[in-house]
Chains A and B, each alone.
Chain A
Amino acid sequence: MKPRPLLIAAILGFAVVLCLASWWIYQRSFASFEEAVSHRQVQIALDTGEAHPVTIQGAPTTPTVLADLSQSGRAPTEVACTTCHSTRTPQLAQRDSVQLDEFHQGLQKQHGTLSCLSCHNADNYDTLRLADGTPVAFENTMQLCAQCHGPQFRDYTNGSHGGMNGYWDLKRGPRTRNACNVCHDPHSPAYPQLIPVFPPKDVQLRKQKYGDSYPDPDQHAH
């Protein structure tokens, strides 16, 4: 048959193109793999001199209480904790918030089995105390939280717990971070439930296109 040499040439040519192409594909995917792996081993000298600070915002200040001074004919006034507590006997066994009367009524406490004086300092109510009795200022409550919540504190100091803003690269800008109490009420620290924002609208739009016959995804039998 005459056309055979042409045919063989065509087949050979096709085979060469195919081989080249497969080699190229292999090289590409393999090369991208090696590149990705080798990245991790490269030691790059980075300038670790941190030019910008990390500020912790929202730490509490020394609290006051609104005192009703109507019996002495004066307007209600914010008074320091020590104003009353310096003259009162500390209630060492007080654990339950329902037993609170006078100023602290209605306070919700849901924080394990701690008593008030686990954290509040009976010697000076304008400060708090660590477990060993060392007084600590309200501004430094994170120290107090860290006593029990070690893993969370470790995660926080390593940047994987607690909201932040600003720069990931501190050489180029500052960062602000939240103190524990910004998200966690010290008396009831569980993160509160909330209503999610921004439901996916595209699925809703599809439903409008299809009308009422579109099944409700809420009825999924999961």
Chain B
Amino acid sequence: MNKPAATLPPPHLSHLNSYPRFIWRMMVLATEGNWLFYAWMIGLSAVALVGLNAWAIQVTNGMGVTNMSDHVSWGLYIANFTFMVGLAAGGVMMVIPAYLYHDDDMHDVVIIGELLAIAAIVMCIGFVVVDLGRPDRVWHMLPGIGKFHFPVSMLTWDVIVLNGYLLINLHICGYLLYQRYRGRRPNPKIYVPVVFLSIGWAISIHTVTAFLYQGLGGRPFWNTALLAPRFLTSAFVSGPAFIILALEAIRYLSSYKVGDGAIRILVNIMRVTILINLLMLASEVFTEFYTGGSHTAAARYLYFGLHGFDALVPWIWSSIVLTLLAALLLLCPKVHKHPVMLVTACCFAFAGIWIEKGMGLIIPGFIPSTLHEIVEYTPNGIEWRISAGIWAAGLMIYTLAIRVAMPIFSGEVSLKKDIEDHA
């Protein structure tokens, strides 16, 4: 798949030789680091194993070990899945300035966003798998040997777009890193069309995921045309917020240079998207409460509680307060010059969107139930452990990916140096 570019001198190593070297070098890089890196990875492994153990218990004893019920049949897993899709889509907010507008600052760090997409999609798949009652039957979905209910089931669309997005980003990142490692200029013919495809594809993953819920007529809380646009705007808040946090972490924990330019662009994106998100929220809240009627029962339950049941009220108000505070902090003209303020704003925005797209969106879709019964839901220990495990696994993947990508991208590690070292 990787044709050498004609404008460059011929390679002194064939792909057959250099590609295994590249893979090996990445694996070596991934297992090396300072004590902080090891401590972080060991900590994450421990959490991931705790999650794995909880999942093994869940598969063996049935999903009755969770707090989900026939009334609230999706819980923390699908809440996290929905948020994760947004995070994956949010990575594209670095790709657009870098490739569409040829922003040089962004070009140096765009891989951070693309790697985030990979890690987030892997987490998405993880959250879907742990939500299955019969993970052993996943093969039933494979086209050909199983039955893939395409195109009628929106879930099949989601499977296609999520896996497609994963492959696209794996291709871009893998190709760019490999070429950098070989010390060659990447051939735009091979990756630029895919980059443009990834921009459209990023929009599609969150749109299709919104359609999963939006298309259900029996759930008025989700059955709104604003759902997909809101998904996208919130994704373009949480994605940049996480990337800013990652960039700041790289700045302080490693020797790599992260320019202010990239952070400034991301802050500017968040400034706009967070306000659009709040506007859409206001619009949705107005429609629900001004109209009234039984279709607004879920919104009443979510924001104010219904008939004495109010488990979600603290969640959603925390989300609104966090998002508002983040929006205010981001409005400060010099926010990108004050790392503490910036990190606080990003943490607030990230947490606010996590609640809004998760517990604040998935759970109230089920409360009250379609027969207007109110059965509440709070995640239990098993669900928290499994979710934490998947988050830990995702952070491990992201950390390793950055650990591998940064030295190769900055030229610190290359095929030439490796050959010289061996010689």
Contacts and interface: CB of A to CB of B under 8 A. Distances in A.
Q: Tell me, yes or no, whether A and B come into direct contact in the complex with CB atoms closer than 8 A.
A: yes
Contacts of A212: none
Contact of B193 (A6, A202, A210): A6
Contacts of B9: none
B67 A215 contact: no
Nearest to A205: B69
Interface residues of B, number: 22
A10 B194 CA distance: 9
Given A24-B151, A25-B152, A28-B152, A3 B189 contact: yes
Contacts of B151: 21, 24-25
Interface residues of A, number: 22
A6 B378 CA distance: 49
Given A21-B151, A206-B376, 16 more contacts: A2-B188, A3-B188, A3-B193, A7-B193, A7-B197, A21-B150, A24-B151, A202-B70, A202-B375, A203-B373, A206-B69, A206-B375, A210-B376, A215-B309, A219-B308, A220-B308
A15 to B, nearest CB: 11
A203 B67 CA distance: 13
B44 to A, nearest CB: 31
Nearest to B67: A209
Contacts of A49: none
Interface in A82-141: none
Interface string A139-172: 0000000000000000000000000000000000
Interface of A: 2-3, 6-7, 10-11, 14, 21, 24-25, 28, 202-203, 206, 209-210, 214-215, 217, 219-221
A94 B93 CA distance: 92
Contacts of A206: 69, 375-376
24 contacts: A3-B188, A3-B189, A3-B192, A7-B193, A7-B196, A10-B193, A10-B197, A11-B200, A24-B151, A25-B151, A202-B70, A202-B71, A202-B375, A206-B375, A206-B376, A209-B67, A210-B376, A215-B307, A215-B308, A215-B309, A219-B307, A220-B307, A220-B308, A221-B307
Contact of B189 (A2, A21, A215): A2
A203 B189 contact: no
Nearest to A28: B152
Interface in B64-99: 67, 69-71
A2 B309 CA distance: 60
B374 interface: yes
Interface in B358-392: 373-376, 378
Nearest to A10: B197
Contacts of B192: 3
A211 to B, nearest CB: 12
Contacts of B200: 11, 14
Nearest to A21: B151
B117 to A, nearest CB: 18
Majority SS at the chain A contact face: helix
A151 B69 CA distance: 44
B189 A202 contact: no
A208 B11 CA distance: 70
A169 B229 CA distance: 53
A180 B310 CA distance: 49
Contact of B375 (A2, A10, A14, A203): A203
A202 B371 CA distance: 15
A121 B67 CA distance: 66
Contacts of B375: 202-203, 206
A221 B305 CA distance: 13
A14 to B, nearest CB: 8
A6 B192 CA distance: 10
Contacts of A11: 200
A108 B71 CA distance: 46
B63 to A, nearest CB: 14
A21 B308 CA distance: 45
B160 to A, nearest CB: 10
A202 B307 contact: no
Nearest to A24: B151
**Ranked 5 nearest A-B pairs via Cβ:** A21-B151, A215-B308, A6-B193, A3-B193, A220-B307
Interface in B135-191: 150-152, 188-189
A7 B152 CA distance: 27
A215 B71 CA distance: 17
A51 B69 CA distance: 47
A2 B192 CA distance: 10
Contacts of B309: 215
Interface in B177-236: 188-189, 192-193, 196-197, 200
B397 to A, nearest CB: 28
Contacts of A3: 188-189, 192-193, 196
A25 B200 CA distance: 22
A208 B345 CA distance: 40
Nearest to A17: B151
A216 to B, nearest CB: 8
Contact of A217 (B69, B150, B189, B374): B374
A55 B188 CA distance: 84
Contacts of A221: 307
Nearest to A14: B200
B373 to A, nearest CB: 7
Contacts of B193: 3, 6-7, 10
A2 to B, nearest CB: 6
Nearest to B377: A206
Contacts of A6: 189, 193
A103 B197 CA distance: 95
A28 B376 CA distance: 36
A105 B200 CA distance: 88
A25 B71 CA distance: 29
A3 B193 CA distance: 6
Nearest to A214: B376
A217 B307 CA distance: 8
Contacts of A203: 373, 375
